[in-house]
Structure 1
Amino acid sequence: MKADPDAIDKGSPAGRPRDPRIDAAILRATTDLLVEIGYSNLTMAAVAERAATTKTSLYRRWSSKAELVHEAAFPAAPTAIETPPGDFRADVRAMIAAARNVFTSPVVRAALPGLIADMSADAELNARVMGRFVDVFSAVRSRLSEARQRGDARADVDPERLIEVIGGATMLRLLLWPDEDLDDEWVDQTTAIVAHGVIV
């Protein structure tokens, strides 16, 4: 049995702090295995073996496979929309391109089907994953509000529906045709459809 290199030091009231090298090794092992064997075949034991640590170290950090995969697949929150304000069609294209960029990494492609299933059964996990997109969602609402004030967007467009349409189109495309690329032509065509429904 492997010694746990991250074991808590019982002699110290606060315990020994987590070793960030172990965190990094675990996340790297998770991303590698996701791409190699897929979500359904991924196990905590396999991750521990690949990371040269123990399952105890994994479960001290992440309580489930879904939580570990969520952090490995989305290591950082996507950035907000960076296009200059004033052109709502450009904003819509930037939103669609951003969704494409987030969901088409090899790790996210491998994780998405299983993670969606686990998120539907775990409200806390769902909230945690959605929390990574707060800045993007806020930017969509802000740009839509500005476009309405300029008279560039329909007043009856709900920002939540716009977010759902963009994210849903991207994820459904990946789930239906997981081996096909989402290139700039796909972004342009999807932009044309969405823009037709929201731009005055």
Structure 2
Amino acid sequence: MSNPIGRPRDARIDDAVLDAAAELLAEVGYAEMTVAAIAERAGTSRPAVYRRWPSKAHLVHEATFRDDVTAGAPRTGSFAEDLHELVRRIAELLTTPLARLAVPGLIAEAATDPVIHQRLLERFSAQSWRGLDATLAAAVESGDLDAGVDALVLLEMVVGSALAATLTRGPDGLTPDWVARTARILLNGVRPANHEATS
């Protein structure tokens, strides 16, 4: 996060607070952790924390999804493999030990906090997956992808599938087999390969 006014942010405090939030999330869970406990663990004050993050949800979001976790879209040279890798990465991102604890609370907070809602949207936007547009453009050029496919819609389908699967199967249900089956459906649709469309 940036600090547009006043003295420059001390990155050491930022890191200490993020580390403390991650530790406490793992120890006591989202509902029980407090900003006061995070500040104490980090060796700073509550006002110092709130100057950086407006709420616990914003802090937990950043502690759970560090800025580099979605950096770089897969580019293997095969769109089928790229799509499989994208599904795998998102499934992995949403089932880390911290994400398992944080995501339900963050989703609940997002229902009433438009700012954290927007941050979550940005986290899984095409802009966060740098290079995804280029990956899709290359797939269109090679004839492996319809030119009308929107990067954000594709991400929504992958993220939505992963979130739904964590609810119905549990985080351990997003197995390599689930990843492969989901990627295959996204790639080929649900019709048999030899199906001919009828008017």
Q: Which interval holds the TM-score relative to the shorter structure?
A: 0.7 to 0.9
Please state if 1:108 is matched with 2:103: no
Q: Structure 1: which amino acid aligns with 2:45?
A: T
Match of 1:51 among 42, 60, 63: 42
Give the corresponding residue for 1:30: 21
Contact 2:71 2:130 in 1 (8 A): no
Give the corresponding residue for 2:189: 197
- In the TM superposition, 1:137-148 aligns within 5 A as 137=129, 139-148=131-140
Q: Structure 2: which amino acid aligns with 1:43?
A: T
Give the corresponding residue for 1:64: 55
- Report how many aligned residue pairs link the two structures: 185
Match of 1:79 among 64, 71, 78: 71
C-alpha separation in 1, matches of 2:120 and 2:31:
19
1:136/1:29 CA distance change after superposition, 3 Å: closer
Please state if 1:151 is matched with 2:143: yes
Give the TM-score of the pair, scaled to structure 1.
0.78
Q: Gaps spanning 5+ residues in structure 1: where?
A: 1-13
- Residue identity over aligned pairs, in percent, reads 37
Give the corresponding residue for 2:112: 121
* RMSD, aligned α-carbons: 2.6
- In the TM superposition, 1:153-192 aligns within 5 A as 153-180=145-172, 182-192=174-184
C-alpha separation in 1, matches of 2:134 and 2:108:
31
Q: Residue 172 of structure 2: SS of its match in structure 1?
A: coil
Q: Residue 100 of structure 2: SS of its match in structure 1?
A: helix
Q: Gaps spanning 5+ residues in structure 2: where?
A: 1-5, 194-199
